[in-house]
Amino acid sequence: MSATVYKNYINGTWVASSSGETFENRNPANHDDVIGVFQRSNEADVKAAVDAAAAAYMKWRLVPAPKRGEILYRVAARLTANKEQFSRDMTREMGKILIETRGDVQEAIDMTYYMAGEGRRLFGMTTPSELPNKFNMTVRQPVGVCGFITPWNFPMAIPSWKMMPALICGNTIVIKPATDTPMSVVNLMKACEEEGVPPGVVNMVTGPGGSTGEALMNDDRVRIVSFTGSTEVGRRVSTACAPKFKHLCLEMGGKNVIIIMNDADLELAVEGVLWGAFGTSGQRCTATSRVIMHKDVAAKFTSMLVERAKNIKVGNGLEDSVQMGPVVNQSQVDTVLKYIEIGKADGARLECGGQRLTGGAYDKGYFIQPTVFSGVTRNMRIWKEEIFGPVLGMGTFNTFEEAIELANDTAYGLSASIYTRDVNKAYVAMRDVYTGIFYVNAPTIGAETHLPFGGTKETGNGHREAATAALDVFSEWKSIYVDFSGTIQRAQIDNAD
Ligand code: NAD
């Protein structure tokens, strides 16, 4: 049976790339399973998509925000109705287990409902004037065409984090999904199409980062670029956008830490570390990749954790009993195995895992054992560099102050956590660990859509996604002064005594 061909979505229609070229999307748990054939888009396709978005913007920005919200409510309902199918498609295209892909689609549903509700808020401010008979207020105005470049690890959630706030603010969009996960964005586009998002308001071009992505971020008519991916590519995007003063929202890498204090509930902490480190096969920007333990509990905690990690069932995420799926592609396999060798060479102790799984069904996919290193110290590369796979590095500390210092000893600043029963220490950690997200007695993953999401240092560039913070990315403030005095009134001058 030949694979289904999926086209680009431009101006409300499904069109083939003018390049005439396509690429295949295969299941990382089973190479024989072809999810579909997608368009390898070129600059002309991107231009056509931006043309459509620019034309549609002139109307969409004037649709009352509550009306835009009504359309988003319908899109959210459609995503809800199709949740199971979309989750299965996602497990097939990127590998994470079904309960996690259901969570990914649910995040898109939550974000869509949340932003639909913003249609009746989008609050500005009224504030007194310093002059008599004068009225002051602020309103949010849309910016124009947005270009989105997204990664493969949250194939529907991350696109929705960008799309829904952009749309409610009155912008139009062009999205380029990751080459490993175009299907989930096709599903998102279909939901928009079926629920009456007008032609040109949302557009999708599939294809590689180097050509399709670059064409999108370099188009002068794209006024906002929102990128989620590696810090390395984010730096390129940042450099490309700077000369044009494009608005730019960057969400990049992480090296997230869990601190285990000597008064922690160790059973609870084991559950948290397993979920944080091996959920999505460690391929989350918020994945727990470092654990630091108080020396008094280090040996006990390590053996409790390793015992559990060894027994994680790895396999095809569509099977109910499987607890961890494959990594996404061959290049991820190579990277993860390379870091395992680096860890060993740097002197960390391999406690479990460390191998690619082979034999039987494993030969058809990209499966790696859950891997735990102990004895990891700050000079090692597996302490410093993002691995983005099922590899956890564990180290120790002597004092709470040292724990805070070690937690902050990273170029990134996305997420961190502490397990403790001491409320004072929890509050100090909340204050002193410099990340965008912090958890107490929970792992480093588990963001909710109505709180800001993003990180400090090399994780981001100061913006936040989700919550009302996202509205600040996708709108610009306009301050409006209405003088009804009938006279010329000069601010700072005519109100002087
Ligand atoms: P990546 O940087 O390789 O790719 C991200 C996107 O950029 C893809 O769509 C890719 O095609 C595109 N791209 C690649 N080269 C490009 C170029 N030269 N110009 C324009 N676009 C280009 O990242 P990935 O492997 O897809 O995702 C993993 C990374 O994403 C990890 O570093 C992870 O931490 C990060 N991430 C961060 C967050 C966050 O919110 N902070 C969330 C998820 C993933």
Dihedral of the alpha carbons of 12, 150, 114, 89, in degrees to the nearest 10: 70
* Ligand 1 contact via 230 beta carbon (within 6 Å): yes
Q: Residue 198: which residues within 8 A CB-CB, separation 6 or more?
A: 12, 56, 59, 60
Taking the mean position of all CA atoms in its chain, how far away is CA 87?
17
User: In Å, how far from its chain's centre is CA 366?
Assistant: 22
Cα distances from 395 to residues 37, 235, 346, 383, in angstroms, run 45, 30, 14, 9
Q: Report if pTM > 0.85.
A: yes
Closest CA to 261 of 223, 228, 301, 293: 293
Measured distance CA(244)–CA(222) in Å, rounded: 10
Task: Report phi then psi at 416, rounded to 5.
Answer: -155, 165
Q: How far apart are CA 140 and CA 150, in angstroms?
A: 25
Placement of tokens 């969009």 in the chain? 173
d(CA 248, CA 245): 9
Q: Tell whether ligand 1 has an atom less than 6 A from the beta carbon of residue 383.
A: no
pLDDT at 1: 64
Distance CA 453, CA 468 (A): 10
In the reported structure, the alpha carbon of residue 346 is separated from the centroid of ligand 1 by a whole-number distance in angstroms of 28
- Ligand 1 center to 62 CA (angstroms): 33
Q: Which amino acid, residue 401?
A: E
Q: Is the CB of 109 under 6 A from ligand 1?
A: no
The two structure tokens encoding residue 232: 């390395």
211 C-alpha to ligand 1 centroid (Å): 14
Write down the pLDDT at residue 496. Answer: 78
Residue 73 bridge partners (DSSP): none
Q: Are 287 and 445 in contact (CB under 8 A)?
A: yes
**Would you say 276 and 417 are in contact if contact means Cβ atoms under 8 Å apart?**
yes
Q: Which of 236, 231, 232 is nearest to 251 (CA)?
A: 231
CB of 389 closer than 6 angstroms to any ligand 1 atom: no
User: Is it true that domain 8-252+460-479 has CATH number 3.40.50.12370?
Assistant: no
Categorise residue 486: left if φ over 0, alpha if ψ from -120 to 50, beta otherwise.
Answer: left
Nearest ligand 1 atom to alpha carbon 240: 19
What are the phi and psi torsion angles at 373 (to 5°)?
Answer: -110, 140
- Taking the C-alpha atoms of residue 288 and residue 191, their distance in angstroms, rounded to an integer, is 33
Which residue, by CA, sits nearest to atom 23 of ligand 1?
Answer: 229
Distance CA 365, CA 316 (A): 9
Bridge partners (DSSP) of residue 135 are 128, 482
CATH number of 256-440: 3.40.309.10
C-alpha to C-alpha distance for 424 and 309, rounded to whole angstroms: 31
Give the residue whose CA is nearest to atom 8 of ligand 1: 178
Whether 289 lines ligand 1, by a CB cut-off of 6 Å, is no
Question: Side chain identity at 370, as an amino acid letter?
Answer: P
Supply angle C-alpha 445, 186, 121, rounded to 5: 65
Smallest CA separation from ligand 1 atom 43, residue = 285
- Tokens linked to 65: 């925000």
Q: Which two tokens stand for residue 381?
A: 């590369």
Q: Which residue matches tokens 């709180």?
A: 451
pLDDT in tens, the chain (497 residues): 689 999 999 999 999 999 999 999 999 999 999 999 999 999 999 999 999 999 999 999 999 999 999 999 999 999 999 999 999 999 999 999 999 999 999 999 999 999 999 999 999 999 999 999 999 999 999 999 999 999 999 999 999 999 999 999 999 999 999 999 999 999 999 999 999 999 999 999 999 999 999 999 999 999 999 999 999 999 999 999 999 999 999 999 999 999 999 999 999 999 999 999 999 999 999 999 999 999 999 999 999 999 999 999 999 999 999 999 999 999 999 999 999 999 999 999 999 999 999 999 999 999 999 999 999 999 999 999 999 999 999 999 999 999 999 999 999 999 999 999 999 999 999 999 999 999 999 999 999 999 999 999 999 999 999 999 999 999 999 999 999 999 999 999 998 77
Mutating to test ligand 1, I would choose from 233, 280, 336 the residue with most ligand atoms within 8 A of its C-beta, which is: 233
Would you kindly state where each structural domain of the chain is located, as residue ranges? 8-252+460-479, 256-440
Is the CB–ligand 1 distance for residue 151 below 6 Å? yes
- Does the Cβ of 185 fall within 6 Å of ligand 1? no
**Calpha distance 266→296 (Å, rounded):** 12
Q: Which atom of ligand 1 is nearest to the CA of 180?
A: 26
Q: Do the Cβ atoms of 42 and 59 come closer than 8 Å?
A: no
pLDDT at 72: 98
**CA gap 204, 459 in Å, rounded:** 26
Cα dihedral 124, 128, 129, 135 sign: positive
Q: Which of 39, 153, 248, when mutated, tests ligand 1's pocket best, judged by the most ligand atoms within 8 Å of its CB?
A: 153
Residue 252 in contact with ligand 1 by CB distance below 6 A: yes
157 vs 228: CA distance, rounded Å: 12
For 325-338, write each residue's pLDDT tens digit: 999 999 999 999 99
**H/E stretch holding 99:** helix 98-118
Beta bridge partners of 480: 137
Predicted confidence at residue 176, as pLDDT, reads: 98
Report which of 234, 223, 206 is spatially closest to residue 170, judged by C-alpha positions. 223
* CB of 90 closer than 8 Å to CB of 105: yes
Q: List % helix, strand, coil for the chain (3-state, nearest 5).
A: 40, 25, 35
- Which amino acid is residue 183, in one-letter code? M
Residues in contact with 303: Cβ distance below 8 Å, sequence separation at least 6, in sequence order: none
By annotation, the residues acting in catalysis are 251, 285
Token pair, residue 400, equals 């709470």
